[in-house]
């Protein structure tokens, strides 16, 4: 995932995210997730375990994913929480969690092609 694509939906805030204290996009242009296991939990729902790496820090996470299909497109969607300080997101004065919470929600929605019928 391109870290420069992160958004909070507010122009002024979004302009800050690429800076070194947040995502440091010039030095860390991508965040990665490398899956290690997928577990079906029923009705198009899965738990995907793997390693999430952001800004040079890595952590094991379990990501809930819901798959839906419409024609040739499969949509993978979900959300999960991370502790932003574990990934050095919001350093220096922004490490104070009274201004920005440590726990943040990561939401995603991916459109996939070439997935067999579920």
Per the DSSP assignment, residues forming a β-bridge with 70 are: 73
Number of H helices, E strands in the chain: 1, 5
Over the stretch 91-105, which tens digit does the pLDDT of each residue have? 999 999 998 999 999
Radius of gyration (C-alpha) of the chain in whole angstroms: 16
- Go through the chain and tell me how many residues it has: 118
Return d(Cα 73, Cα 69) in angstroms, integer. Answer: 6
Nearest to 84 by CA among 96, 101, 71, 67: 101
Asked whether the beta carbons of 87 and 54 are under 8 A apart, the reply is yes
Over the stretch 10-48, which tens digit does the pLDDT of each residue have? 999 999 999 999 999 999 999 999 999 999 999 999 999
Over the stretch 44-99, which tens digit does the pLDDT of each residue have? 999 999 999 999 999 999 999 999 999 999 999 999 999 999 999 999 999 999 98
Which CATH number applies to 32-113? 2.40.128.110
The SS3 of residue 55 is coil
Residue found under tokens 């965040």: 31
Kindly report the pTM of this predicted structure. 0.87
């Amino acid at each position: 995932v391109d870290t420069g694509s992160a958004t909070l939906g507010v122009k002024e805030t979004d302009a800050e995210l690429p800076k070194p204290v947040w995502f440091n996009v010039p030095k860390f242009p991508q965040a990665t997730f490398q899956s290690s296991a997928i577990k079906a939990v029923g009705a198009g729902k899965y738990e995907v375990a793997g390693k999430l790496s952001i800004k040079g820090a890595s952590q094991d996470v379990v990501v809930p994913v819901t798959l839906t299909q419409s024609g040739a497109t499969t949509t993978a969607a979900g959300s999960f929480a991370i502790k932003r300080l574990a990934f050095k997101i919001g350093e220096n004065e922004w490490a104070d969690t009274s201004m920005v919470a440590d726990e943040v929600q990561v939401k995603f929605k991916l459109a996939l092609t070439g997935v067999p019928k579920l």
